[in-house]
């Protein structure tokens, strides 16, 4: 019986992958606040949220859990960048490589545990 309940929960959980150029704690703007509010108000028993975002700051981990979101950071990073650093190499090219890095990260996450939905 326990195995059947575990298997049902495993199958019934919906995995959602979100792509965003930036996310907490570095950037707090409209889209980031909206994503955090939606994911925090959604039951963790029914949905698992994964996010692929850029890693501008090397002091931030490549993976962490913020609220109900598993945050996966990709890209070039420097230590404690400021706004001016974002327009300098290598951080200035992150935005252009994000579609490639995001696709590769999404593919590796999907191979480990298949996603139900993708969004941006």
Q: Does residue 104 form part of some domain?
A: yes
Residue 70's CB is within 10 A of a number of other CB atoms, namely: 17
Q: Does residue 59 form part of some domain?
A: yes
Q: What is the pLDDT of residue 10?
A: 52
Domain that holds residue 53: 15-118
CATH of the domain at 56: 3.40.50.2000
Structural domain tally of the chain? 1
Q: Provide the residue-wise pLDDT of the chain in tens; the chain has 120 residues.
A: 454 444 455 567 889 999 999 887 777 778 888 888 898 888 778 899 999 999 999 999 999 999 889 999 999 999 989 888 888 899 899 999 999 999 999 999 999 988 877 655
CA dist 47 and 18 (Å) reads 13
Largest CA distance in the chain: 58
Q: Does residue 10 form part of some domain?
A: no
Q: Does residue 9 form part of some domain?
A: no
Q: Does residue 3 form part of some domain?
A: no
Give 8-18 pLDDT, tens digit per residue.
555 678 899 99
Q: What is the pLDDT of residue 120?
A: 55
Q: What is the pLDDT of residue 82?
A: 86
Quick one: tokens of 14?
């919906």
Q: What is the pLDDT of residue 105?
A: 96
Instruction: Label residues 90-115 b or e (16+ Cβ within 10 Å = b).
Output: ebeebeeebeebbeebbeebeeeeee
């Amino acid at each position: 019986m326990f195995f059947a309940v575990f298997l049902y929960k495993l199958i019934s959980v919906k995995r959602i992958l979100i792509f965003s150029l930036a996310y907490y704690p570095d950037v707090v703007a409209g889209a980031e606040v909206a994503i955090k509010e939606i994911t925090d108000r959604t039951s963790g028993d029914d949905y698992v949220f994964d996010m692929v975002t850029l890693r501008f700051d090397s002091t931030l981990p490549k993976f962490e859990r913020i609220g109900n979101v598993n945050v996966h950071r990709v890209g070039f990073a420097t230590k404690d960048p400021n706004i001016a650093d974002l327009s300098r190499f290598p951080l200035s090219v992150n935005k252009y490589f994000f579609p490639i890095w995001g696709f590769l990260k999404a593919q590796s996450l999907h191979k480990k545990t298949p996603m139900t939905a993708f969004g941006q």
